[in-house]
Every structure is written in C-alpha cells, then in structure tokens.
Amino acid sequence: MKRWGWVMSLAIISGLVLSACGQSKEAAVSTSAANITVKIGILKNVTHAPGFIALQNNYFQQAFGPNAKIEVTSFDNGADFATAMATDQLDLGYVGPGPVINQYLKSKNIRVISGVNNGGAVLVARKDAGIRTVKDLVGKTVAVAAKGGTPDLSLRSLLQQEGLKVSTDASGVQIVTRAPADTLVAIRQKEVDATLIAEPWGTQIIQEGTGTILVDWNKIPPKDGNYPLTILVANDKFLKDHRDLAKKAVKANKQGIDFIQQNPDKAYELISSELKVLTGKGMEPALIKAAIDHLKLTQDITLADINEQAKISYDAGYLKVKAEELDFSKFLDTSLLDELKKEK
C-alpha cells in the first residue's frame, strides 16, 4: 500500500509539474502576443475604404487582442509605402499593386495576402484645356500621383491603346507627378491639363467645376476597370512570426468590405472620420458615395492580375525583365484567404 501511495503521489506531482509547465508556456505565448505592436500602412485615398472602416470599427484591434498596440502610418503614394514595407517599417497595409511589384523584385520580402478593391480611378481633363478625346492629350501635361503607381501604369496602357507616346515635349503626352491634393490645385491653376487619379479626387475635381471625365473608371485599362487598384500586403517577417495575426488582418479587411456593402450610409461617415484622422480634414458623405460607386470591392485577386500589372510596368520601362520571365507565384499568397473561406 505504501508503494502504491508513493506511486500515486509521484503521478500527481508529475501531473502538477507538467500542468505548470504547460501554463507557463501558454502564459509566455500570451504575453508575447499581448506585447506586440502591429505597424499598419495605408494611403489617404477613399479607395482604401475597407481599411478605414477596419480601423474606425476596431476590427484590427478586436482581432489582434486588447493588449496589442496598433501603429498606423499614412502615405501620399504607393512608392513610399513600398519602401517602408521592404525596410520593416511596416508589417502590413493597403497599397496599389504597381509599387509593390517593383519593390518585390528588389527585396523579395513582400507578399500580397488579399484583394481590397478593383477600379476606382478616372481620367479627368481640365475643362478649358481643349481636350475632348484621349488623342487630344498630345502636347498636353497629365498628372499622376507617382511614377510606377497603378494610375500611372493605367495611363500608359491607355495611351498605348490609342497609339500615343509618352514624351518630354509637345510631340507626345507629358506625364508629371503630383500628390492628389496638389493635383486639384494644379488643375485650378492650369498647371496641368489632365490627370488619371484615384477617387475621390476625380469626383472632387468634377464637383468643383474645373474638370470633366474623359474616361470613366469602368473604361480604364486593364480590363475596363476590373483591375486591382488596392491590395492588402504583408512583409515576410510578419508572416513568418505572426501568421495568425496576418490571417486575422485578412478577416478584418473582409469585415470592412462587408460593412460598406451592408451599411453604406454609416460607412460614409466612418470613412470621413478616418480621413480626418489621417489628413486633418474629413469629406462630405455625398463625395465619398460617388467615389465608392466608382469601384468594385472584392477580396479576390489572381496571379493573372499580378502578371498583367507586371507586363504594363515592363512596357513602361519600370521593370528591366519581361513579365513572362518572372515568377510571381510566391509574391501572391492567398493561403490565408483560402483558409478563411473554408472556415465559413
């Protein structure tokens, strides 16, 4: 009996030790998750609306946990965002595909983890610039937010379709870079003749009465507006160390999309509130509605979409290797999105 009692005591003690070890391990994991800071990047465009909603409704915070800290950095263009992502200044965020495609080929440490929206950019001509068709852009100056950005690539594709060339003189179309807010001023002051610009800036130019739509969003190449304008990306280190949080970010993005579709009027108010946080100035709900109406909200994105953007970037001279010679299969990682779809 004494021997049996000793064995039982040893078993109990061993169980307690193992239990304590398990609790310590769980506590360590919990503490590690609680102390994390997630750095999210986003552009100051209404085309990033699902991200705005996810921030305003605390979808990211709810997903990451109450003790996680979220740092948000806003950008005027995708090129600066892509550089910040590649240099570990950001963990994840919203951007156009053009800049991160270019950056991926340099650093190989960025992954696309979800779509956000397609389309959402318009070609606007200054009212008194004498521009009635795309061919009238010869000898004119057209503004884009950044070289290599998605609107820039769309503009170059459109000009190529019309048989027009990009030049630095009046023999072709001159492309200049201006931040979206600066483009509004440049149109007013007649410094530029047209712009291919993401919403809501295009709609704002129209409502001011200084410009007219030359090519609407659903006719902008490629695929008549059905191209990825905004995507959700993450860097490799974050995906490796915190894959669970990246998956939760994809879910938060979907919650943002769903909220806009199900509660549009409330969404416009929240988008305006987030714009005020990022820029210091909100926006009229009617203007936001007009912008949202000019895009297609979707999580879906394919390798064909990426390859098409890469081809346009190569044709524009931003890539030195032909798109068909490049492998973007690792750049696009929809495994998190696929897992979430299966869990429904």
**CB 44 within 8 Å of CB 96:** no
Residues 212, 299 contacting (CB under 8 angstroms): no
Q: Could you tell me the residue ranges of all domains in the chain?
A: 36-120+228-342, 121-225
Instruction: Name the pTM for this structure.
Output: 0.84
Residue-wise pLDDT for 288-297, tens only, equals: 998 899 999 9
Question: Which of these ranges, 3-12, 93-102, 232-241, has the smallest mean pLDDT?
Answer: 3-12
Give the pLDDT of residue 54: 98
CATH topology of domain 36-120+228-342: D-Maltodextrin-Binding Protein; domain 2 (3.40.190)
Asked if the model's pLDDT at residue 217 lies above 90, the reply is: yes
Query: Would you say the C-alpha torsion 49, 158, 99, 336 has a positive or negative sign?
Result: positive
Report residue 33's pLDDT band, with 50, 70 and 90 as the boundaries. Answer: low
Predicted confidence (pLDDT) per residue in 81-116, tens digit: 999 999 999 999 999 998 999 899 999 999 999 999
pLDDT at 169 over 80: yes
Q: Among 37, 35, 36, 39, which Cα is nearest to 89's?
A: 39
Give CA separation, 300 vs 160, 225, 263, in Å. Answer: 27, 15, 21
Tell me which residue of 219, 226, 238 sits closest to 296, measured CA to CA.
226
For the structural domain made of 121-225, what CATH number should be given?
3.40.190.10
Is residue 122 within 8 A of residue 337, CB to CB? The reply is: no
65 contacts: CB under 8 Å, gap ≥ 6: 33, 34
Q: How confident is the model at residue 302 (pLDDT cuts 50, 70, 90)?
A: very high
3-state secondary structure of 318: coil
The CA-to-CA distance between both ends of the chain, in Å, stands at 55
Q: Residue 12 corresponds to which tokens in the numbers above? A: 């109990």
Q: Which range among 29-43, 44-58, 259-273 shows the weakest confidence by mean pLDDT?
A: 29-43
> Residue 172 and residue 180: Cα distance in Å, rounded?
23
pLDDT for the residue numbered 321: 82
Task: For residues 213 and 277, give the distance between their C-alpha atoms in angstroms, rounded to a whole number.
Answer: 29
Res 34: pLDDT: 64
Structure-token match 């999210």, residue found = 40
Bridge partner residues of 124 (DSSP) = 195, 213
pLDDT band at 23 (very low <50, low <70, confident <90, very high): very low
CA–CA distance, 199 with 132 (Å, rounded to integer)? 21
